[in-house]
Structure 1
Amino acid sequence: MPTLSVSVDGQLLAAVSSEDGYDMLSVHVSCSRLDEDFATLDLSGGFYPEEGDSTYLTWIDMMPIQAAQTITVSLLDEGVTTHPGKTIQELSDDDSEAFDYEQMPPVSEMVAELKKRPLLRGEYTFEFLAPDSTQLNGQTLQEEESLAMSVIWHALHRDGKARVSLHSYTLEGLAVRAPSNDHARYKLGIGESIQLQLGTLAAP
C-alpha cells in the first residue's frame, strides 16, 4: 500500500502508510506575506467510514519553513508509519476552548481585518521540481499575498496517484472564491517525488 513521506533538506520528518487504514493523506505548504512565519508545513490525514466516527490525525503541525529550504514529498510503493499522528485535542492546549465555527465571522470581515496588516516580505519565488523532473521557476504576482502547495492522496483515486497543486492567490479572490493562479498541477505516482524550494524578493 502507498506511503506518503515528507523530508526537509534531506531529513525525513514523517512517513505515513495507507496500509494503516487511512482514506486520505495530505501535505500542505502555506505561505503568507502577512504572517511572521515565512512558510509552514503540515502533514495530516484520516479515515472516514460510512458508519461510525471519523478520525483526523496530524503528523506534522504547522512546522516553520525558512527560505531556501527544500521540501521533498514522495509517494512510495510501501513503507511504515514513522510515528503516531495526533488528534486535534492532543494538539490543543489543555486550557484552550474548542473553536466554535458558528461564531466565526464572515469571510469578507476576516479578509478586511487581514488587509489591515502590513506586508512583511516581498513576493514569493519558487523552484518546483515536478514528478517528471521538469523544473519550474516562478514567483507570485505583486498583488498576491499567498502561495500554497498541496499534495493529496485519496483512496478513491483509482489510478493510485496523489494530486499536486502549486498556486497563489489574493485575499480578495479568496473572499469571493475566485479561481487561484495555478503554477503547477501534476499527478504523483508510485516511486515519484516532487520538490519545492521557496524564496522571496526584496521587502515591499
Structure 2
Amino acid sequence: MCIMLEIIPLVLGPVGTNTYLMGDPQSLSSVVVDPAWDGELILEEASRRKWKIEQIWLTHAHFDHIGGIAGLIKDLQTTPKISLHPADFPLYSVQGGAGYFGMRISTGPEPTNHLEHGQILTLGDRAFEVRHCPGHTPGHVVFYCAAEKVLFSGDVIFWGSIGRTDLPGGDYDALIHSIYSQILTLPNETRLLSGHGGETTVGFERRENPFLS
C-alpha cells in the first residue's frame, strides 16, 4: 500500500508567498518548495513532525521565494540540497531582485543541483518531473507528481490568473506558451499549488481562467 505524501502549505513573507513543506511519512524525509520567508518557522513545522529537511526545490529565484533559505538552514547540521534552474542563477545572485523593491535578504548558499527540463526529483518513493516554464522568470520550473496528482506551479499560474511578466526577465509570450504546453496538457484533476493564493486544478483553469480564454 502506497502512503501519500503530506503537504503543509505555509503563507509567509511580505507578499504572502506560499511555501510548501512536503514530507514522506515512512522515511521522515522532507522537501521545502520555495522557502519564502521566516525559515525558522518552516523548521519548526518540520521538527514538530520529526521530519528531516533534506532538499530545497525552487520554482524560481524571486526574493519572495528564496528569502527563508538562510534562516531555514542555519540550525541544520547538514545543508539541504538546493535545486534551481541555471537560467535563474543570475537572479539568485542579486538577492532575487529584492533591491528592486527596496529590500535586502540573505540568500544562503549557492544552489548545487542545476535543474533541467525532464529531470526527475524524488521524495520517498514519489517521483516529481521538472518542467521548464519560462515567462515569469527565464529559469522558472514547476514540479509534477503524477502519482499524487499535484503540480507545484510557482508563479506561472494562479487561481483565475497568471504570473506577471513586467519584471526583469519576464516574457508574456513565453509564459502563455509554458502554460499551454506544460500545464494545461496535464489531467483535469491535477491540483495546482501555486506561489500565491489558493489551490486550484488544471480543469478549473482550463474552463474558467479569463487570461486563457
- Provide TM-score, normalisation by structure 1: 0.24
| The structure with more strand, counted as a fraction of residues | 1
Larger Rg: 1
| The structure with more helix, counted as a fraction of residues | 2
- Provide TM-score, normalisation by structure 2: 0.23
